[in-house]
Structure 1
Amino acid sequence: MTIYPIETGNFKLDGGAMFGVVPKSIWTRTNPADNNNMIDLAARCLLIEEGKRLILIDNGLGNKQSEKFFSYYYRWGNHSLDKSLAALGFHRDDITDVFLTHLHFDHCGGSIQWNKDKTGYEPAFKNAKFWSNAEHWQWATNPNAREKASFLKENLLPMEESGHLYFIDRIGGAFQNTSEVGFGVLFADGHTEKQMLPHINYKGKTVVFTADLIPTVGHIPLPYVMGYDTRPLLTLGEKSSFVETVAEKDYLLFFEHDAHNQLCTLKKTEKGVRLDQTFTFDEVFNSH
């Protein structure tokens, strides 16, 4: 197995929304804001090469939305999914599986693209299976008013219509190993119903793809919960048990949304579990 970080493009969101009840004077210490109160975010994905399979975990915002839509998210930098894949010698047609942690547009928007004459939509990974789970799919395709703007029909329905949509069988319990994609999955319900966090055993380490349970290193302390979460008190409990496990077992956290930190470890302190060290992916896995 070989795994690679994939940068699909950076964007910005309102810092207050990203940190909920935490005062700006505190969260700006880790996540500085610009004059519009926006903070830097990444849409960083993970590519797993194993045998004949090439599994992509999440895929960013995509590029099919209108200029007006993207104007709300202040895209910046030069990263793109295609450039990141090409730098590794891959093409999106090589992808065999797209695993979606959840179906908010910044995680699955790259799944679907315009067709050639822009009369409709088609899968952006024509040879891939798309993996979600039945409970989350039902939640996303019949959205509540709070999340409706994050679950875009043009991202979701073409996946189902293509016949390439598959569900992870949830046997029960928060954590399970999946035969479908070959890595462990932790289900979390605070941010949205049945978000899935991959746990990947790699070179003697467990790498956990944090998705939106812990978006950035600034979100490690327990009360630092996004305003976007549908059940913030549930997130609080999920984070509490999660960070204790991460610190105890020396897992590596892989950040999808931290524009400036790819990986970190956690440690137990008198104030609770806190950031230990940050690393680049290459520093951990490719240094000699």
Structure 2
Amino acid sequence: MKIYPVETGNFKLDGGAMFGVVPKTIWQRTNPADDNNLIDVAARSLLIEDGDRLILVDTGMGNKQSDRFFGYYYRWGDFTIDASLKKHGFHRDDITDVFLTHLHFDHVGGAIQWNKNRTGYEPAFKNAKFWTNEKHWKWAIEPNPREKASFLTENLIPMKESGQLSFINYSGESFLKNSTLGFDIRFVDGHTEKQMLPQFSYQGKTIVFMADLIPTVGHISLPYIMGYDTRPLMTLTEKEIFLNEAADHNYYLFFEHDAHNQLCTLKHTERGVRLNQVYTFNELFK
């Protein structure tokens, strides 16, 4: 197995929304805001090369939305998914599986693109299966009013119509060992119903793809929970369980949304679990 970070593009989000009830005077110490109260956010995917499989975990926003839509997210930098794949010697047609932690637009938007005539949509990875789970799929296609703006029809229905949609077998467990894709999956429900976090061993280290359970280093402390979460008290419990396990077993957290930190480890302190050390991918896996 080999893994690669895939930068799909950076954007900005309101810092208050990203940190919920935590005051700006506190959260801006780790995630400084600009004059519009916006903080830097990444859309960092993970590519897993395992035998004949090339698995992409999440896809970023993509580029099919309108200028007005993207105007809300202040994209910055020059990362693209195609350039990132090319950097590692791959093309999007090489991808065999796209694993979607959940179906919010900033995680799934890149899975679907305009067709050549811009008359409709088609899969952006023509040779890949798209993996979600049935409970989350139902949650997404019948969205609650709070999340409706995050579950975009044009990201979802073309996936099903293409015949490339597949479901991870979920039977009620919160931790699925050795899934169909060869890695373990943690199921968490605080941010959205049945979000899936890949977990696997690589070069003797346990890597956990954090998605939106812990989006940045600044969200490690327990009360630092996004205003976007549908069940913040559940997130609190899920974070506490995970943080203690991660500190006990020296897990490496891979951040999808931290624009400035790729991975970290944790440690126990008198104030609870806290950041231990941050790493770039290249220095950790030389």
Return the alpha-carbon distance in structure 1 between the equivalents of residues 78 and 200 of structure 2.
28
| Deviation, structure 1 residue 114 | 0.1
Query: Does the alignment pair 1:34 with 2:34?
Result: yes
* Structure 1 residue 48 corresponds to structure 2 residue 41: no
Give the structure 1 partner of residue 92 of structure 2.
Answer: 92
2-structure distance, mates of 1:160, 1:185: 22
CA distance in 1, matches of 2:127, 2:138: 24
Residue 159 of structure 2 corresponds to 159
TM-score w.r.t. the length of structure 1 is: 0.99
State the identity %. Answer: 71
Cα deviation per residue 1:126-151 (whole Å; 9 max; x = unaligned)?
00000000000000000000000000
Q: Give the Å deviation of 1:178.
A: 3.8
- List 4+ stretches of structure 1 deviating above 2 A: none
Partner of 1:215: 215
Measured against aligned partners, the alpha-carbon deviations of 1:211-266 in whole angstroms (never above 9, x if no partner) come to 00000000000000000000000000000000000000000000000000000000
- Which residue in the other structure is 2:246 paired with? 246
CA distance in 2, matches of 1:193, 1:220: 21
- Do residues 24 (structure 1) and 24 (structure 2) align? yes
Q: Does 1:284 align with 2:284?
A: yes
CA contact 2:179–2:185 (8 Å) conserved in 1 = no
1:51 shift after superposition: 0.9
Alignment partners' CA distance in 2, 1:51 and 1:282: 22
Structure 1: where are the runs of 5+ without partners? none
Q: 1:35-77: per-residue Cα shift (whole Å, max 9, x none)?
A: 1000000000000001111000001000000000000000000
Instruction: Provide the C-alpha distance between the structure 2 equivalents of 1:179 and 1:255, rounded to a whole number of angstroms.
Output: 21
The number of residue pairs the alignment matches comes to: 286
Query: What is the CA-CA distance between 1:171 and the residue it aligns to?
Result: 2.6
Contact 2:188 2:196 in 1 (8 A): yes
Amino acid of the structure 2 residue aligned with 1:284: L
Conserved? CA contact 1:176–1:185, under 8 Å: yes
CA distance in 2, matches of 1:195, 1:181: 16
Partner of 1:179: 179
Q: Deviations over 1:265-286 (max 9, x none)?
A: 0000000000000000111111
Provide the alpha-carbon RMSD of the alignment: 0.5
Give yes or no for contact 2:12–2:75 (8 Å, CA) kept in 1: yes
Amino acid at match of 1:232: P
1:231 correspondence with 2:231 = yes
CA contact (8 A) 1:168 1:178 kept: no
